[in-house]
Amino acid sequence: MKQIISKLIGANKALCFISIVMFLMIGLFSSCDPKIADESLYTFTDKMMGQYLKDSTDFSEFAKLLDTTKVNGLLNSYGTYTCFAPDNQAMFNYYHLKGKKALTDFSLDSMKLIAYYHLISGSVLKYSDLGKGQLPELTMGERYLTISVDSVTGALKINNAAEIIKHDILVHNGIIHKINHVLDPTSFGIVEEISKNSLFTVFYRALIETHMSDSLMKDRDKSYNSLLYTSLISVSYEQAIANNNWYFQQLPTARKYGYTVLIESDETYHSYNIFTLEDLKNYAKTVYDEVYPEDAGISDVTDRRNSLNRFISYHLINKRLSVSGLIDKYNMYSNSHMIDKAGLNIYEYIETMCPGTLIEVTRKGGTNETNLINRIPETDKSVTVLLSNSDKDATNGVYHQLTGILTYNKEFHNVISSKRLRFDAASFFPELTNNDMRGKGNTAPNSQFLLPKGYVERISCSDETVVGYLTPYTKYQDYQGDEIFLNATSGKLYNFTITTPPIPAGNYEVRFGYLTNGKRGVAQLYFDDVPCGVPLNMNTYATNISIGYESPGTNAADPNGYENDKMMRNRGFMKGPACFKVVVTGWSSGQNARYSSAALRKIIGIYTFPTATNHKFMVKGLSTGEFMFDYMEFIPTSAIEAEDIY
């Protein structure tokens, strides 16, 4: 019967019409029996958020906004919300600022935008939860809020404008913080936002002149509809909670694009004697002609090989990265998997829009020194973000002012070309960042995203392959706690290709990091379409003689495990790096991944990369099983000799 109905109502319009008719029917049918006691609808005594705001004289204007936009109905329902509620004076000031006399002068769309911008659904954020920087939770307006501390009063401010003047007003379905300034949601894209800021005129001109602004325009992939893929989900959040399951699956709700612009102010340029676009062109030429002498003669600034174009492109990233998203939030969250100790630096590599280039972000282990961009170890020089003018939000991105000029110069090129580059698997794919999947910290129950075919541009796979992103979980012995997980539908074999970020030219040993669990299947690996030796039996545990893992310290004749390291390398494997650990032992253990028989690195092979470019890693399952990869490493062969255990 369902089938028949579906055939009949297949067209959307028909569905719409019939829904309306059915709705009316239900309404009228109900009207025949109107005697339902109002009081029986409520089973609690404290107020719902909507009711509280409505009853409070302080928030009557804001409540009016919520009423008009019908958001109040939502706030009177179950669920959890955090509300930053502007008081009446704040609302009046806002009207005045916008040249309006009253709330009714705003369009309904504008009002909705304002209302949703003050609300976070699904989280109750207490005052004590509001750390500095961008909040990880999106507002209902799908925008982020940034928290800062007022240097004079010490009070927390939102978006560097609205001070929290009363906090932690608990209501039945959430929490309210009173603020003294309406949060003004921008409706501009990243390019427009930069254009409005008078601090960045030279950079903005260059952005326009090079036409790189055209690369910052996308907002959302409207063709993506998560409802089409609900059949992929086998364990929903509700089921996980009901059954006390350790994980649940979900689909990304949208496929949004996002950008980050790292930007220098005119003032910064002045200190380098750059006052005009021409000056910037000349500066870019001195830097990039040295790195790319073959392109020195290209004067067309829209040519991607032109020095100014490279200069600007190197400031642009196709991920929406808050300041904490540059490195900290993947490594420094509560109960992080990463080991933070002096001398053990953590790195994040970010692909820029300048072809073939990466930015390196360093966090110095055991210190608070972070977001050190393109640090030169010998001189300890780097560029970083100016926190007082960072996390500047736009509809499709964010920008951060830098403390100095950022370039992919010869000196940094030499640094990044001669060291091991380790990429967390999730860092390969902007979709995971732009759609709030990466950077969540440990989740419980573990949040596992299933990514429909085509969702991630840099993963191409067969129809039989199921791709998932597993957010960090305390029991995962994973780098940064998360992993990319691939499987095949029942009885089928996986087959996928991953495109890596660009790697500088040179001779590299390439490895991928994974966890053994005895059920990974047999697979043939390919790198840049070249087979990586014979089929690999990944069902084999690390302690199997064919891999030969020995935990350091267990062999008296090899107390540090160096001999075992050599033996494993002879067989094409390495122990896991000593820079991360499992938070809760059980599935695996060890003080760090080096001490875990589950954490392995498979050496894929040695390759010569003639140019700096992206590469393809393909895996074809030959027997049923699953595949996961945690991270990838590219190490110049010349650096292997002196490579550390981290």
Partner 1 sequence: MKNNLKNAFYQRLLLLIMLAVNIFLFNSCQDDYLYDKTEPSWLGSNIYDYLKTDGHFTNYIKLIDDLGYTEVLKLTGSKTLFVANDSAFNVFYQSNSWGIDNYSQLTPAQKKMIFKYSMLNNAYLNETLSNYNLGGTLNEGMAMRCETELSALDTIPFESGDKLPDNPFWAKYITKGLHLMKDNTTVPLVFFTQKFLNKYAFTNEDFSVLTHGLTRLLYDSHIFNIKITKKDIVCKNGYINVLDKVLIPPVNMAEYIENNPDTKIFAKLLDRFCAPYFDAANTLVYKQLHPEFTDSIFTKHYFSSLGPNAFTVSKSNSGTKYYPDGVTLVPNLLAYDPGWNDYTQGAVEADMAAMFVPSNDAMNNYFNSPLGKLLKERFITWDNVPDEIVVPLIKRHMRTSLIETVPSKFNLMVDAENYKLPVEKSHITSSYTGVNGEVYVTNQVYPPVDFISVYGPVLFSDNTKIMKWAIKCFETSSSGTNFEFYRLYLNSMANKYSLFIPTDEYFSKYIDPIAYGQDVQGMLKFWWDVKNNVVNATIYKYNKTNGLVGDSVGFIAGNASGSVANLVRNRLWSLLDSHIVVGNVESGSNYYVTKANDIVKVSGSGSSLKVQGGNDLVNSTVSNTTNFYSQTNGNTYFLDKPIEPALKSVYKLLLSEPQFSSFFNLLNGAPTDSIFTQQGIDYRIRFFNAYRYTVYVPLNSVIDNAIQTGELQSWDAINAMPISTAAQRTAQKAAMHKLIRFLKYHFQDNAVFTEQIVNSQYQSAALKEDNATTYYNTAKTRFLKIGVHGDGNTLTLTMDTNDGTTKQAHVVKDNGLYNLIVKDFIFGNYTSGAVTTQYKNVDGTGSATGALFSSSTLTASASAVVHQIDNILKFE
Minimum distance of partner 1 from residue 325's CB (angstroms): 35
4 binds partner 1 (CB under 8 A): yes
| Closest CB to partner 1 among residues 23, 246 | 23
| Closest CB to partner 1 among residues 441, 535 | 535
187 binds partner 1 (CB under 8 A): no
Within 10 angstroms of residue 379's Cβ, the number of other Cβ atoms is 8
Minimum distance of partner 1 from residue 443's CB (angstroms): 24
Sequence-separated (6 or more) residues with CB below 8 Å from residue 530:
605, 607
| Closest CB to partner 1 among residues 60, 462 | 462
Minimum distance of partner 1 from residue 169's CB (angstroms): 42
Can you say whether residue 273 is alpha, beta or left, with left for phi > 0 and alpha for psi between -120 and 50 degrees?
Answer: left
Closest CA to 511 of 635, 643, 357: 635
Q: What angle do CA 270, 273, 278 make, to 5 degrees?
A: 100
Sequence-separated (6 or more) residues with CB below 8 Å from residue 431:
252, 255, 437, 451, 455, 456, 457
Minimum distance of partner 1 from residue 376's CB (angstroms): 22
What tokens does 422 get? 């380790």
17 binds partner 1 (CB under 8 A): yes
| Closest CB to partner 1 among residues 367, 546 | 546
**Contact letters for partner 1, residues 435-464 (x by CB under 8 A):** ---------------------------xx-
Minimum distance of partner 1 from residue 163's CB (angstroms): 49
What tokens does 225 get? 């509809």
Please check whether residue 583 is in contact with residue 492, taking contact to mean a CB–CB distance below 8 angstroms: no
238 binds partner 1 (CB under 8 A): no
Minimum distance of partner 1 from residue 156's CB (angstroms): 46
| Closest CB to partner 1 among residues 215, 462 | 462
620 binds partner 1 (CB under 8 A): yes
Minimum distance of partner 1 from residue 602's CB (angstroms): 16
| Closest CB to partner 1 among residues 6, 276 | 6
| Closest CB to partner 1 among residues 389, 489 | 489
Angstrom distance (rounded) from CA 241 to CA 225 = 25
Angstrom distance (rounded) from CA 225 to CA 44 = 37
Minimum distance of partner 1 from residue 514's CB (angstroms): 15
| Closest CB to partner 1 among residues 494, 629 | 494
| Closest CB to partner 1 among residues 28, 37 | 28
Q: Are strands 599-609 and 358-363 parallel, antiparallel or unpaired?
A: unpaired
What tokens does 408 get? 């992919």
Closest CA to 336 of 472, 242, 434: 472
User: Roughly how many angstroms between the first and final C-alpha of the chain, as a whole number?
Assistant: 61
**Contact letters for partner 1, residues 565-604 (x by CB under 8 A):** -xx--xx---------------------------------
Q: Are strands 573-575 and 599-609 parallel, antiparallel or unpaired?
A: antiparallel
Minimum distance of partner 1 from residue 576's CB (angstroms): 17
**Contact letters for partner 1, residues 537-566 (x by CB under 8 A):** x-x-----xx-x--------xx-x-xx--x
Stretch that binds partner 1, among 149-157, 291-299, 467-475, 520-528 (CB under 8 A): 520-528
Minimum distance of partner 1 from residue 243's CB (angstroms): 21
Helix 60-68 and helix 108-117, axial crossing angle in degrees, nearest 10? 120
| Closest CB to partner 1 among residues 284, 493 | 493
Number of residues that bind partner 1 (CB under 8 A): 63
Question: C-alpha distances in angstroms, 87 versus 56, 81, 177, 183?
Answer: 10, 18, 10, 12
Q: What is the CA radius of gyration of the chain?
A: 27
Please check whether residue 608 is in contact with residue 637, taking contact to mean a CB–CB distance below 8 angstroms: no
Angstrom distance (rounded) from CA 400 to CA 396 = 14
Can you tell me which of 493, 578, 593, 604 binds partner 1, judged by CB under 8 A? 493
Handedness of CA 125, 126, 127, 131 (dihedral sign): negative
Minimum distance of partner 1 from residue 526's CB (angstroms): 7
| Closest CB to partner 1 among residues 326, 467 | 467
Within 10 angstroms of residue 94's Cβ, the number of other Cβ atoms is 19
Minimum distance of partner 1 from residue 217's CB (angstroms): 27
- On the CB side of 599, CA atoms within 13 Å amount to 28
Question: C-alpha distances in angstroms, 121 versus 2, 137, 221, 611?
Answer: 34, 9, 23, 47
233 binds partner 1 (CB under 8 A): no
- 528-558 burial, b at 16+ Cβ within 10 Å, e below that, comes to beeebeebbbbebebeeeebebbbbeeeeeb
| Closest CB to partner 1 among residues 13, 222 | 13
Minimum distance of partner 1 from residue 23's CB (angstroms): 10
521 binds partner 1 (CB under 8 A): yes
151 binds partner 1 (CB under 8 A): no
22 binds partner 1 (CB under 8 A): yes
* Positions in the binding site for partner 1 (CB under 8 A): 2-11, 13-14, 17-18, 21-22, 24-25, 28-29, 32, 230-231, 462-463, 492-493, 495, 517-522, 524, 526, 531, 533-535, 537, 539, 545-546, 548, 557-558, 560, 562-563, 566-567, 570-571, 620-626, 641-642
